[in-house]
Amino acid sequence: MNIKPLGDRVVVKLVEAEEKTKAGIFLTASAQEKPQVAEVVAVGPGAHTDEGKLIPMEVKVGDKVITSKYSGTEVKVDGVEYTIVKQSDILAVVE
Amino acid sequence: MNIKPLGDRVVVKLVEAEEKTKAGIFLTASAQEKPQVAEVVAVGPGAHTDEGKLIPMEVKVGDKVITSKYSGTEVKVDGVEYTIVKQSDILAVVE
Amino acid sequence: MNIKPLGDRVVVKLVEAEEKTKAGIFLTASAQEKPQVAEVVAVGPGAHTDEGKLIPMEVKVGDKVITSKYSGTEVKVDGVEYTIVKQSDILAVVE
Amino acid sequence: MNIKPLGDRVVVKLVEAEEKTKAGIFLTASAQEKPQVAEVVAVGPGAHTDEGKLIPMEVKVGDKVITSKYSGTEVKVDGVEYTIVKQSDILAVVE
Amino acid sequence: MNIKPLGDRVVVKLVEAEEKTKAGIFLTASAQEKPQVAEVVAVGPGAHTDEGKLIPMEVKVGDKVITSKYSGTEVKVDGVEYTIVKQSDILAVVE
Amino acid sequence: MNIKPLGDRVVVKLVEAEEKTKAGIFLTASAQEKPQVAEVVAVGPGAHTDEGKLIPMEVKVGDKVITSKYSGTEVKVDGVEYTIVKQSDILAVVE
Amino acid sequence: MNIKPLGDRVVVKLVEAEEKTKAGIFLTASAQEKPQVAEVVAVGPGAHTDEGKLIPMEVKVGDKVITSKYSGTEVKVDGVEYTIVKQSDILAVVE
One-letter amino acid of C24: G
Q: Is the predicted pLDDT of residue D70 greater than 90, yes or no?
A: no
- Sign of torsion, CA B4 B5 B8 B9? negative
Degrees to nearest 5, angle at CA B39 with B37 and B44: 120
The pLDDT of residue A69 is: 65
Q: What percent of chain D has pLDDT over 70?
A: 77
The pLDDT of residue G5 is: 93
Q: How confident is the model at residue C91 (pLDDT cuts 50, 70, 90)?
A: very high
Contact C94, B8 (CB under 8 A): no
CB contact (8 A) between residue C32 and residue B70? yes
Q: How confident is the model at residue G30 (pLDDT cuts 50, 70, 90)?
A: very low
For the segment G42-75, what is each residue's pLDDT rounded down to a tens digit? Answer: 999 998 777 777 888 999 999 999 987 667 888 8
Q: How confident is the model at residue F35 (pLDDT cuts 50, 70, 90)?
A: low
Whether A3 contacts chain B with CB within 8 A: yes
Q: What is the average pLDDT across A56-78?
A: 86
E87 within some domain:
yes
Comparing CA positions, the residue from B89, B86, B45 lying closest to residue B66 is B89
Whether G10 contacts chain F with CB within 8 A: no
Contacts of A50 in chain B (CB under 8 A): 49-51
Q: What is the average pLDDT across E58-74?
A: 87
Classified as helix, coil or strand, G1 is coil
Nearest CA in chain B to C67: B73
E48 within some domain:
yes
Comparing CA positions, the residue from C68, E12, F85 lying closest to residue B74 is C68
Number of domains in chain E: 1
Which stretch of D20-29, E80-89, F58-67, G73-82 has the lowest confidence by average pLDDT? Answer: D20-29
Q: What is the average pLDDT across D28-41?
A: 64
The pTM of this model reads 0.77
Q: Is the predicted pLDDT of residue A30 greater than 60, yes or no?
A: no
Q: What percent of chain D has pLDDT over 90?
A: 40
E1 within some domain:
no
The pLDDT of residue D33 is: 42
Q: How confident is the model at residue A18 (pLDDT cuts 50, 70, 90)?
A: very low
Q: How confident is the model at residue B41 (pLDDT cuts 50, 70, 90)?
A: very high
- DSSP alpha helices (H): ranges in D37-90? none
CB contact (8 A) between residue F59 and residue E6? yes
D43 within some domain:
yes
The pLDDT of residue F30 is: 40
Please tell me the distance from the alpha carbon of residue G61 to that of residue C61, in angstroms, as a whole number. 63
Can chain D be said to touch chain B, i.e. do they have 3 or more Cβ pairs within 8 angstroms?
A: no
Please tell me the distance from the alpha carbon of residue A94 to that of residue G3, in angstroms, as a whole number. 5
Residues in CB range of D89: below 8 A, 6 or more apart: D67, D68, D71, D72
Q: How confident is the model at residue F40 (pLDDT cuts 50, 70, 90)?
A: very high
Which stretch of B27-36, B48-57, C8-17, E35-44 has the lowest confidence by average pLDDT? Answer: B27-36
Contacts of G33 in chain F (CB under 8 A): 73
End-to-end CA distance of chain B: 28
How far are the Cα atoms of B95, C32, D94, G12 from residue C5, in angstroms, in the given order? 45, 26, 8, 55
Please tell me the distance from the alpha carbon of residue E35 to that of residue E66, in angstroms, as a whole number. 6
Q: Is the predicted pLDDT of residue B62 greater than 90, yes or no?
A: yes
Stretch (H or E) spanning A19: helix A17-23
C3 within some domain:
no
Please tell me the distance from the alpha carbon of residue E34 to that of residue E71, in angstroms, as a whole number. 10
Average pLDDT, chain D: 80
Contacts of C75 in chain D (CB under 8 A): 25, 27-28, 35, 66, 92
Nearest to D52 among E53, E66, E91 (CB): E53
Q: Is the predicted pLDDT of residue A34 greater than 70, yes or no?
A: no
CATH of the domain at F45: 2.30.33.40
Better-predicted residue by pLDDT, D76 or A26: D76
Please tell me the distance from the alpha carbon of residue C63 to that of residue D6, in angstroms, as a whole number. 38
Q: What is the average pLDDT across F3-13?
A: 93
Q: Is the predicted pLDDT of residue C42 greater than 90, yes or no?
A: yes
The shortest C-alpha distance from A71 to chain B (Å) reads 8
Comparing CA positions, the residue from A18, A9, A30 lying closest to residue A75 is A9
- DSSP alpha helices (H): ranges in D10-70? 17-23
Please tell me the distance from the alpha carbon of residue D42 to that of residue D53, in angstroms, as a whole number. 22
Q: Is the predicted pLDDT of residue D25 greater than 60, yes or no?
A: no
G58 within some domain:
yes
Written as one string, the DSSP assignment of chain C is --EEE-TTEEEEEEPPHHHHHHHTEEPPP-SS---EEEEEEEE---EE-TTS-EE--S--TT-EEEE-TTSSEEEEETTEEEEEEEGGGEEEEE-
Comparing CA positions, the residue from E93, E85, E75 lying closest to residue E43 is E85
Nearest to C11 among D51, D58, D92 (CB): D92
Torsion of CA D76, D81, D86, D87, to 10 degrees: -140
E4 within some domain:
no
Q: What is the average pLDDT across C37-60?
A: 87
- Bridge-based pairing state of the strands B47-48 and B36-43: unpaired
Which stretch of A85-94, C18-27, D45-54, G72-81 has the lowest confidence by average pLDDT? Answer: C18-27
The pLDDT of residue C52 is: 73
For the segment C71-84, what is each residue's pLDDT rounded down to a tens digit? Answer: 788 888 778 889 99
Q: Which residues of B10-48 are buried (b: 16+ CB within 10 A; e: fewer)?
A: bbbebbeeeebeeeebebeeeeebebbbbebbbbbeebb
Tell me how many residue pairs between chain D and chain E have CB atoms under 8 A apart. 74
Nearest CA in chain C to D68: C73
One-letter amino acid of A74: E
Please tell me the distance from the alpha carbon of residue F64 to that of residue F12, in angstroms, as a whole number. 9
Q: What is the average pLDDT across B69-84?
A: 82
For the segment E19-60, what is each residue's pLDDT rounded down to a tens digit? Answer: 555 555 555 444 334 567 899 999 999 987 777 778 889 999
Comparing CA positions, the residue from B11, B2, B71 lying closest to residue B41 is B11
How far are the Cα atoms of E74, E86, F19 from residue E81, in angstroms, in the given order? 7, 17, 19
Contact C12, C67 (CB under 8 A): yes
Better-predicted residue by pLDDT, C71 or G37: G37
C1 within some domain:
no
Q: Provide the domain limits for residue E84.
A: 9-17+26-94
Nearest to E92 among D5, D76, D78 (CB): D5
